[in-house]
Amino acid sequence: MHRFAYRRPESVDAAIQAARAGQTSGPPVQAPGQFIAGGTNMTDYMALDVMRPDTLVDINRLPAARYARIETNPQGLRLGALVRMAQAEDHPVIQSKYPVIHDTLKLAATRQIRNMASLGGNVLQRTRCEYFRETSWPCNKRNPGSGCAALDGHNRQHAVLGASQNCIATYAGDFAQALIALDATVETMGPNGARTIKFADLHTRPGATPNVETVLQPGELILFINVPAGPWTARSRYLKIRDRDSYQFALTAAAVALDLDGAAVREARIALGGVATVPWRAHEAEAVLKGKELDEDTATQAAEAAFANAQTRQHNAFKVPLGKQTIVRALLETQAMKV
């Protein structure tokens, strides 16, 4: 067992200081010290020896009244980073006015995990790539420069969009697809002060540095997630396709939000889960639909556009037709919603 210091600061400043004071050893991690919230991802990867922080900074003593709070107003949602997934899933305004967010939470993991897991931790969860999780394999994300065992290995779960020659790992989360579709932002605090980051800019594609997964600086904390309300938020849903209908990550998924004028699409928001290396907004598909009547033909054209640049490997080519069907079905089911 790797020994580590455990800190429980009660303020944001103290948490940032504690994270910066820690050192790293063993396989690379992104920050000197590591934050832990619900711990459902972090303890998993510490037990597997994938993450070996020398300092673990537990942020659960930050004031709950501020950071575990859901605020709603006509302009949108403000979600504290320590809000638990189950807490957000149960919120009546999220259920009625932001159904796509409710769906992404409800369809993730299990209720027991969602009782523990925080929203901030959820968006920063790390990939489930089998070769990342098992330290005897080469993996550029875990051990930069060592190679990627998935390229010619068992890559059925892996990404067909946004990959590089260095990493094809899928971004595993669901909630992030709702956030990117709805133009969310995150508010952070770090050693260099506060900033607001578009959710679409938070995660970075693997490129030549798959070990770098976000634009967050060492010791930078996510404090809030903001979701603006729009004419599309109420007519929205998340369709998640998986091998087993519970307790499974997505093979393919589509978060859809629509603003309709009769059958015509004023605006469509589409994000894809299970198929890309980062939360993935399908702008090309949205452009196909804008101003058109939504029916099976136009939905199919949009789905084709979404996967036009897909690159497949030996075992994951099935994700392209499945992903297209997921988009078509999600669009038509969202259109049929009674709002």
Ligand X SMILES: Cc1cc2nc3c(=O)[nH]c(=O)nc-3n(C[C@H](O)[C@H](O)[C@H](O)COP(=O)(O)OP(=O)(O)OC[C@H]3O[C@@H](n4cnc5c(N)ncnc54)[C@H](O)[C@@H]3O)c2cc1C
Please report, as ranges, the residues that interact with ligand X according to CB under 6 A. 34-42, 44, 59, 81, 108-109, 113, 116-118, 120-122, 124-125, 173-175, 221-222, 249
Under the criterion CB under 6 A, does residue 172 sit at the interface with ligand SF4? no
How many angstroms separate the CA atoms of 155 and 139, rounded?
A: 13
Under the criterion CB under 6 A, does residue 129 sit at the interface with ligand SF4? yes
Under the criterion CB under 6 A, does residue 268 sit at the interface with ligand SF4? no
Q: Quickly list DSSP for 136-174.
A: TS-BTTTSTTS-BTTTTS--TTS-SBS--SS--PPP--S
Residue 168 binding: pick among ligand SF4, ligand X, none (C-beta 5-8 Å cut-off by kind): ligand SF4
Under the criterion CB under 6 A, does residue 249 sit at the interface with ligand SF4? no
Closer to ligand X by Cβ: residue 29 or 305: 29
Q: Which residues contact 45 (CB under 8 A, 6 or more apart)?
A: 51, 126, 133
Binder of ligand SF4 out of 55, 104, 118, 140 (CB under 6 A): 140
Binder of ligand SF4 out of 105, 167, 182, 302 (CB under 6 A): 167
Under the criterion CB under 6 A, does residue 275 sit at the interface with ligand SF4? no
Question: Least distance to ligand SF4 from the beta carbon of 320, Å?
Answer: 18
Under the criterion CB under 6 A, does residue 46 sit at the interface with ligand SF4? no
Query: In the range 196-225, which residues lie near ligand SF4 by CB under 6 A?
Result: 210
Closer to ligand SF4 by Cβ: residue 164 or 325: 164
DSSP class of 84: B
How many angstroms separate the CA atoms of 93 and 221, rounded?
A: 26
Q: Quickly list DSSP for 206-258.
A: -TT-TT--BSPPTTPEEEEEEEE--TTSSSEEEEEE-SSSSS---SEEEEEEE
Report which residue's Cβ sits closest to ligand X: 121
Q: Are 220 and 189 in contact (CB under 8 A)?
A: yes
Q: Which residues contact 112 (CB under 8 A, 6 or more apart)?
A: none
Residue 167 binding: pick among ligand X, ligand SF4, none (C-beta 5-8 Å cut-off by kind): ligand SF4
How many angstroms separate the CA atoms of 30 and 243, rounded?
A: 31
